[in-house]
Amino acid sequence: MRRRKKDQVDEDVVVPVETPPDVRANGPWDISEKSPEEDPSYVDLGPLLVRAQDAYSIQLPAEGENGQIASAVLVAGDAALELRAFAATRSGGLWDEVRDDLILEVARLNGTSEQVSGPYGPELHVRVPVELPGGEEGFQPSRIVGVEGPRWMLRGTFLGEAGLNPSDDGPLMQAFRDVIVRRGNEARIAREALLLTLPENAVVAPDEE
């Protein structure tokens, strides 16, 4: 059972977690495990195949000077899910390294992070200080989930209401489970982002930074 999130936890405290067996029994999937060919609801983004649903929209924000697309953002009302895929090694363990780096980065930003046991093993619940539009001080909540497959890692960051009140149910979590990763056979270094490709008739959202 997932340990419930406390109101505030020191970022240096690591909560013991349990890794459930066969965490990907219900997805996310590798392309060798599930084919989207007979399911027209899947949107082909190259390394990621994402199932489209009426419950959310799919946005593809461009990043950097080259306008590369490194993430897909699923928006459902006041909640969102950012999907990013990375190359990993056959031996695994990348999510452990990335999670430690995220904890350090949150601490650098004077935020708080709590490591808990979720449906995919260790995950992070994070609060980072932000300045609200009216000038008041607030925080941005997020839930960061990492899953490793054959030489890839999928990171899902749940934002807004999905980060403030984490749930293992709902359309965004189901969308995360439905993701199919197509890494390819190219030689890649660990942590290399698997850049997405733009499907036909899609519009790229400009980088806000």
pLDDT at 49: 97
- Looking at the whole model, is its pTM more than 0.95? no
Sign of the alpha-carbon dihedral angle for 87, 73, 64, 132 = negative
Question: What totals of helices (H) and strands (E) does the chain contain, helices first?
Answer: 3, 12
Enter the CATH code of domain 29-205: 3.40.1000
Residue 107, burial from CB neighbour count under 10 angstroms (0-12, 13-18, 19+): middle
For 88, what's the count of Cα atoms within 13 Å in the CB-facing half-sphere? 24
CB-based contacts of 24, cutoff 8 Å, min separation 6: 120, 147, 149
- pLDDT tens sequence for the chain (209 residues): 333 333 433 444 444 444 455 789 899 999 999 988 878 999 999 999 999 999 999 999 988 778 899 999 999 999 999 999 999 998 889 999 999 999 999 999 999 999 999 999 999 999 999 988 877 889 999 999 999 999 999 999 999 999 999 999 999 999 999 999 999 999 999 999 999 998 876 655 554 44
How far apart (Å, rounded) are the C-alpha atoms in residues 65 and 68? 8
